[in-house]
Chains A and B, each alone.
Chain A
Amino acid sequence: MKFLLSLTASQQVGLLFLILFGGLLLVSAGAVFLAMREKSPQDDHGLTRFAANLRALWIGAVVFWLAWVSGAAGATILFAAVSFLALREFVTLMQTRRADHRSLMLAFFVVLPVQYVLAGSRSFDLFTVFIPVYVFLAIPVLSALGGDPLRFLERNAKIQWGVMVCVFGLSHAPALLLLDFPHTHDRGPFLVFFLVIVTLTAQMLETFVSTHLRGRPVARQIDRTFGWQSWAIACLGAALVGGLLFWITPFKLPQAMVMALIAGAAGTLGEFVMTALKRDAGVNYWGNTGQVTGAVGLLDRVAPLCFAAPVFFHSVRWYFQLKS
């Protein structure tokens, strides 16, 4: 512990990534070893899914590492690119009409870059209201100018939602990276790491517990496994992991646990909401199954973060009264 404290913040982050990539390497090596053994078709299916998840983890780890290495500008651009791909996937599965073309152009080519520029330049006051206030008005105005009244509210609501989730929500990840605490500098990467780990923990626990516990589903039509029991366990698990990680954050132990609870709860509930959205769009999985046009499965991976990041960011900023 003394050794850890003697390192500078950036050395600590470096060490964190070293441990992360080391762990991933070990798991991957294990997976390669497992793949060479003989197995039943059922195991094979499980292994394929595991491999896909592992690949997503690798990509995620590399993205975060790149975000850290490349500094404020790089992180902003990187998350802007992820945002772009997620929004592209979201819009594909929503039935938009010809008259929405201009509003979609606005969303992709104006709102998205501006929001990330605001994040990158730490203008957090405008960053917070830009989409909910200004874009909220601009999108329906452009849509109305398109002159198509059919399903007007529905179409606009969908575009607004896509922008809120994929641009506003996700842009809080680089914003968190740039958030400055009064006494601790350059601790942003730890906060992002903390957020990602607790939301991932909550999400994985929720999936695991709900498939093994077989509790009573709350909303069978939307998600056959989501239940209050497994959700509570997932949130508590997130809080526990958050408590274990408190030393990398600017929080004290109880604060870290509460923040982790909030992030875990927001992430899992956000994922639940996305499931409802998928049911509405008529797909079971955003991923590319060959049956549905669009979707590369990116939205599946980032959805919990999209919901957890803004809640976490604003809780932290409000509680600690941070001005920048």
Chain B
Amino acid sequence: MNKADALGFVLAAVARLITGAQGHWKGVPPKAEQRIYFANHQSHLDWVLIWATLPADLRAQTRPIAASDYWTTTPLKHWLTREVFRAVYVDRERKEGGPDPLEPLVAALEQGDSLVIFPEGTRSNKGLPQDFKSGLFRLAQQFPQVQLIPCWIDNVQRVMPKGEVVPVPILCTVTFGAPCNLQAEEPKADFLRRARDAVIALKPGGAA
């Protein structure tokens, strides 16, 4: 076991201790097939929580997305995201005529990796998620064989509210729903709304 694996193991154990990291596999079993998990985004811990919830064999082939302008600025951040989480780096700022920002994601999916994405694009702490960005639609178009799994992450904003650095132990769950793939001829806006509704429907205690 090298340093990165050891740190990953420790991080997952700490996440379990603090949040319980319970996964409720309601719509799909935890199987090692190629998937895109898309979830609501409330906290920096979201990714760690999903990652800790996954069984070890799924964890090895599931990768997060990291903004390269933030996660590559210091050697430590870069090492953490590259070696421990095997993150896919994207540029947040889209330059005119520059390369497609989704290109690294496409490359990762072509390799057969699974991804975790937060289609809201930013963290929201106002209850229900914001409207989804179109990236999810384009990936769904390009990779119809990859399962799109909606996920609801519950309670994580209470563990570490914005501005705090020490997490407080509160149990969190990740609920995994049934696959929500693109239907034939489905328009972009309809699909994005359906995907968002699928995420909200998984919220424990209803969408209230």
User: Which residues from chain A sit less than 8 Å from chain B, CB to CB?
Assistant: 84, 87-89, 91-92, 96, 98, 101, 104-105, 108-109, 288, 290-296
- From the candidates B155, B164, B166, name the one contacting A293 in the complex (CB within 8 A): B155
Q: How far is the CA of A108 from the CA of B24 in the complex (A)?
A: 26
B30 at interface, CB cutoff 8 A: no
| CB-based nearest A residue for B171 | A294
Contact (Cβ within 8 A) B168 A105 = yes
Q: How far is the CA of A84 from the CA of B173 in the complex (A)?
A: 18
Most buried by A among B26, B155, B166, B171: B171
Closest 7 CB pairs of A and B: A294-B171, A92-B171, A293-B154, A88-B169, A104-B168, A98-B161, A293-B173
- The distance from the CB of B205 to the nearest CB of chain A, in whole angstroms, is 7
B140 at interface, CB cutoff 8 A: no
The total of chain B residues at the interface (CB under 8 A) is: 18
Q: How far is the CA of A101 from the CA of B160 in the complex (A)?
A: 8
- The distance from the CB of A162 to the nearest CB of chain B, in whole angstroms, is 11
Q: Which residues of A contact B161 (CB under 8 A)?
A: 98, 101
- The distance from the CB of A234 to the nearest CB of chain B, in whole angstroms, is 31
Which B residues between 139 and 182 are near A, CB-CB below 8 angstroms? 154-155, 158, 161, 164, 166, 168-173
- From the candidates A89, A91, A101, name the one contacting B164 in the complex (CB within 8 A): A101
- The distance from the CB of A88 to the nearest CB of chain B, in whole angstroms, is 4
Contact (Cβ within 8 A) B168 A89 = no
Contact (Cβ within 8 A) B26 A88 = no
Q: Which residues of A contact B155 (CB under 8 A)?
A: 92, 293-294
Q: Which residues of B contact A288 (CB under 8 A)?
A: 22
| CB-based nearest B residue for A290 | B24
Contact (Cβ within 8 A) B170 A91 = yes
Q: Which residues of A contact B205 (CB under 8 A)?
A: 291-292
- Known contacts: A96-B158, A290-B24. The answer to whether A295 contacts B169 by CB under 8 A is no
- The distance from the CB of A282 to the nearest CB of chain B, in whole angstroms, is 8
- The distance from the CB of A164 to the nearest CB of chain B, in whole angstroms, is 18
B20 at interface, CB cutoff 8 A: yes
- Known contacts: A92-B155, A290-B24, A290-B26. The answer to whether A295 contacts B168 by CB under 8 A is no
Which B residues between 178 and 202 are near A, CB-CB below 8 angstroms? none
Q: How far is the CA of A105 from the CA of B173 in the complex (A)?
A: 21
- Known contacts: A92-B155, A290-B26, A292-B204. The answer to whether A84 contacts B169 by CB under 8 A is yes
- Give 6 A-B contacts (CB < 8 Å), ordered by A residue: A88-B20, A88-B170, A105-B166, A108-B169, A292-B205, A293-B173
Contact (Cβ within 8 A) A291 B170 = no
| CB-based nearest A residue for B18 | A88
Q: Which residues of A contact B169 (CB under 8 A)?
A: 84, 87-88, 91, 108
Q: Which residues of A contact B173 (CB under 8 A)?
A: 293-294
Q: How far is the CA of A294 from the CA of B204 in the complex (A)?
A: 10
Contact (Cβ within 8 A) B20 A296 = yes
Q: Which residues of A contact B26 (CB under 8 A)?
A: 290
Q: How far is the CA of A101 from the CA of B205 in the complex (A)?
A: 24
Q: How far is the CA of A288 from the CA of B171 in the complex (A)?
A: 11
Q: Which residues of B contact A291 (CB under 8 A)?
A: 204-205
Contact (Cβ within 8 A) A89 B171 = yes
- The distance from the CB of A116 to the nearest CB of chain B, in whole angstroms, is 16
Q: Which residues of B contact A84 (CB under 8 A)?
A: 169
Q: How far is the CA of A294 from the CA of B173 in the complex (A)?
A: 7
- The distance from the CB of A4 to the nearest CB of chain B, in whole angstroms, is 42
- Known contacts: A92-B155, A101-B164. The answer to whether A295 contacts B171 by CB under 8 A is yes
Q: Which residues of B contact A91 (CB under 8 A)?
A: 168-170
Known: A290-B26, A293-B204. 10 other contacts (CB 8 A): A88-B170, A96-B158, A101-B164, A105-B168, A109-B166, A291-B204, A293-B155, A293-B171, A294-B155, A296-B22
Q: How far is the CA of A101 from the CA of B26 in the complex (A)?
A: 31
Contact (Cβ within 8 A) B20 A294 = yes
| CB-based nearest B residue for A292 | B204
